[in-house]
Amino acid sequence: MSENETGRQLTSRRDFLKLGGTVIAGAALFGLGACGGSSGGASGGGGGTGDVTLSISPDLVDMMKPKLAAFSKANGNTAKIRVMPADTGAYLDRIRTQLEAGSSDIDVIAGDVSWPSQLASNGWIEDLSARFTKSQQDAYLPATVAANVWDGKVVGVPFFTDAGILWYRTDLLERSGYSAAPATWAELQEMALKIKRDAKLENGFVWTGAQYEGGTVLGMEFIRSAGGDILKDGKVVIGEQDAIDGLTIARGLVTSGASPAAVANFKEDETTGAFLGGNAAFMRNWPYVFGLLGDREQTTIDPATIAVAQIPTARAGGTSVNVGGGWNFFMNANSAKKDTAWELIRFLSNDAQQKAWALEGAYLPTRKALYEDPEIVDAMQVVKKDKEAVFQTTTPPVSPFYADMSRLMAERFNASLRGTTSPGDAAAKLQDDLSAIVAKGG
Ligand code: GLC
């Protein structure tokens, strides 16, 4: 473990596990500390060349197409896209079914940061240790590589990283007499209610509370922002009072009217739509929204009135925490074209490609050098406006059973948000259920 320039600690995958994921992965975003990563064992071997297929979520298709065309032209083999569900959990279910059946249809998988342990522990994705060498790994933010290490082997290559950000409308805040973003959830609630009244807005604060992976992320974020957690030192702590406080804050946003009841159905699209449609003062979302700001088809709001801040805390003076995300490239262990698959992964994750994703879509790069690139720093408002917003990024708990944990959390967080279960009961049930999963080795 080492300290980076910000003085915040970076960490290895094992420490993520020990700490239940509460370490600061996002601190690596702008730091140059070197740790995490892996040497790991030899790759499963086996080469093979030919046309390859990449699976991705629908939101990335438009930007990905020209990149695959460029790859195909340069490589000689053609790379095609297989579009998967937008919902991270539904995508995982789909890919898991295929991999479990031993399918070799898909060669490269663009997959979520929470997947490596699940896919690798089943032997479905290739050990890339022999191909993704230590010196290659050094070009990446350490935490993004560490997130792809399973059992000492590196099983994925970082694509882009994600951080939870509070977005707000400066024009609406000013109109209601506010000059700064809220620091606590209580302030946010009060401000959202006043702004909603003053500007006759449909919604105060919108966020992704639906029953899916994004809802799990938000529930964990409320819990961690209240000082609670899911796992601590390998033990489930979600039943503790701090965690209950976090879920109570989420429910309070809805009962107070600061957030619409519909947040219990909102995923990224609905959330972004409400905010960019001018129907909300605040939004919790990922940096990709920056890529939509200048697009007149997406929004008529003046981009100059949109600002970002850190996720509020439960208590005044507390440290802001967000639960981040990100996407990686994995190789199907059953691919018959592993050499071409690897060439595609290398191509899609090189500096030029990551720069294009950053400039075209505001996807945060995972390669260190790009944070020194003036063009990126200039164009990426998230880097310019509020670096701190992405500093306190934490990861979901690391476990081969994370999918089961996440499913249960999504269900119970959503029930608590809807008021069909109390936050205390939701937390108590999760304490029991997650403990049972951990006991069976998760
Ligand atoms: C974003 C994040 C990803 C997360 C998903 C939840 O795509 O990058 O990690 O799983 O949102 O909706």
- Written as one string, the DSSP assignment of 175-207 is HTT--S--SBHHHHHHHHHHHHHHTT-SEEEE-
Mean pLDDT of the chain: 87
Q: At a CB cut-off of 8 Å and minimum separation 6, what does 79 contact? A: 51, 52, 53, 54, 68, 71, 72, 344
pLDDT of residue 382: 65
Residue 324 CA to ligand 1 center (angstroms) comes to 8
pLDDT for res 289: 92
- Could you tell me which of 23, 8, 362, 342 has the C-alpha nearest to residue 157? 342
Residue nearest to atom 4 of ligand 1 (CA): 325
pLDDT in tens, 358-405: 999 989 999 999 988 989 888 876 666 555 555 567 888 878 889 999
CA distance 326 to 211: 19
Question: Which residue's CA is the nearest one to ligand 1's atom 5?
Answer: 214
Protein residue whose Cα sits closest to atom 12 of ligand 1: 214
Q: 293: pLDDT confidence band, cut at 50, 70 and 90?
A: confident
Taking residues 54-66, what's their average pLDDT?
Answer: 97
- Which single residue is written with the structure tokens 């080492």? 2
How far, in Å, is the centroid of ligand 1 from the Cα of 178? 31
- Give the atom of ligand 1 at the shortest distance from the alpha carbon of 208: 12
Supply 242's token pair. Answer: 């701090």
Token digits for 365? 């790069």
Q: What is the distance in A from the centroid of ligand 1 to the CA of 48?
A: 32
For 76-122, what is each residue's pLDDT tens digit?
999 999 999 999 999 999 999 999 999 999 999 999 999 999 999 99
Q: Which helix (H) or strand (E) holds 308?
A: strand 306-309
Span of 74-78, 285-289, 412-416 with lowest mean pLDDT: 285-289
Structure tokens at 275: 């905010």
Quick one: pLDDT at residue 391? 55
pLDDT value at position 13? 23
- Report yes or no: 368 and 144 within 8 Å, Cβ to Cβ: no
Nearest-CA residue for ligand 1 atom 1 is 325
Q: What ligand 1 atom has the least distance to the C-alpha of 268?
A: 12
Distances (CA, A) of 91 to 81, 84, 127, 217: 14, 6, 21, 16
pLDDT in tens, 131-172: 999 999 999 988 899 999 999 999 999 999 999 999 999 999
Q: What angle do CA 204, 205, 210 make, to 5 degrees?
A: 130
Task: Find all residues with CB under 8 Å of 316, minimum gap 6, and list them.
Answer: 183, 184
Distance CA 32, CA 102 (A): 39
All structural domains of the chain: 3-162+325-394 (3.40.190.10), 165-322+401-440 (3.40.190.10)
Residue 269: closest CA among 285, 253, 252: 285
**Residues 246-271, mean pLDDT to the nearest whole number:** 98
The predicted pLDDT at position 57 comes to 97
Pocket of ligand 1 (CB under 6 A): 88, 112-113, 162, 213-214, 217, 268, 286, 325-327
Tell me how crowded residue 100 is: count the other CB atoms within 10 A of its CB: 10
Q: Which two tokens stand for residue 398?
A: 């690391």
Taking only the tens place, the pLDDT of each residue in 195-225 is 999 999 999 999 999 999 999 999 999 999 9
